[in-house]
Chain A
Amino acid sequence: NAGVTQTPKFQVLKTGQSMTLQCAQDMNHNSMYWYRQDPGMGLRLIYYSASEGTTDKGEVPNGYNVSRLNKREFSLRLESAAPSQTSVYFCASSVTGEGRDTQYFGPGTRLTVL
């Protein structure tokens, strides 16, 4: 049981390049999330998917797109990377409802945009 996994662990991009961050969970969770973490800013929600087939914007969605590929996988795409998107990106998943709301986080992807 690997929990929440993310690839890649590290990535360096040039301004304007695109890339997709991958996230998968093997806990049969219905909800998945993408957060970014910047120094002194805590974690901020980018997008979330409450169930397979649905996605919604979070606090900071501009410049990102997401795909809930199936129940296990939730990807985050940067179409044209900008230096302001340099951050650590965390994926999380949870079983929601009936008090089972704990979010479990992946190990993170450290992204640098030059």
Chain B
Amino acid sequence: GENVEQHPSTLSVQEGDSAVIKCTYSDSASNYFPWYKQELGKRPQLIIDIRSNVGEKKDQRIAVTLNKTAKHFSLHITETQPEDSAVYFCAASSGGGADGLTFGKGTHLIIQP
């Protein structure tokens, strides 16, 4: 089955700086890669996703890149703000999401004032 590795487990950046979280996946058939943000005690919420026919996608301060050859994808957050502090999860699916997601173990992003 699919295996998703996520790094780093904790990331501390100064407010206003950029943050990058990286994930690798094992199943070359995976074609859907979402990123979720989870605040303490809350449900995971989708912040951005990318499909295998696209190399990069942006939404305001958030961007995701995908390298299918190397089987890795990354989340980029620019101009970080205190409200960006949370745990971020990457995930992958080979069925476009229909057969469930395989998640990474999460990155705790800390924004230092």
The answer to whether A and B interact is yes
Chain A residues close to B by CB (< 8 Å): 31, 33, 40-45, 48, 50, 56, 58-59, 90, 94, 96-97, 99, 101-108
How many residues does chain B have at the interface if contact means C-beta atoms less than 8 Å apart? 26
Q: Which residues B71-113 have CB closer than 8 A to chain A? A: 89, 91, 93, 95-106
Chain B residues close to A by CB (< 8 Å): 1, 6, 32, 34, 42-46, 49, 51, 89, 91, 93, 95-106
Question: B100 and A42: CB pair below 8 A?
Answer: no
Please, which residues of chain B bring their CB within 8 A of the CB of A44?
103
Please, which residues of chain A bring their CB within 8 A of the CB of B32?
101
Give the 7 A-B CB pairs with smallest separation, nearest first.
A101-B97, A96-B98, A42-B103, A45-B100, A105-B43, A42-B105, A43-B103
Question: B45 and A33: CB pair below 8 A?
Answer: no
Please, which residues of chain A bring their CB within 8 A of the CB of B101?
33, 43, 45, 103
Can you offer 29 A-B residue contacts whose CB atoms are under 8 A?
Answer: A31-B98, A33-B101, A40-B105, A42-B104, A42-B106, A43-B89, A44-B103, A45-B101, A45-B102, A50-B98, A50-B99, A58-B100, A59-B102, A90-B43, A90-B44, A94-B97, A96-B95, A96-B96, A97-B96, A99-B51, A101-B93, A101-B97, A101-B98, A102-B46, A105-B43, A106-B43, A107-B42, A107-B43, A108-B43
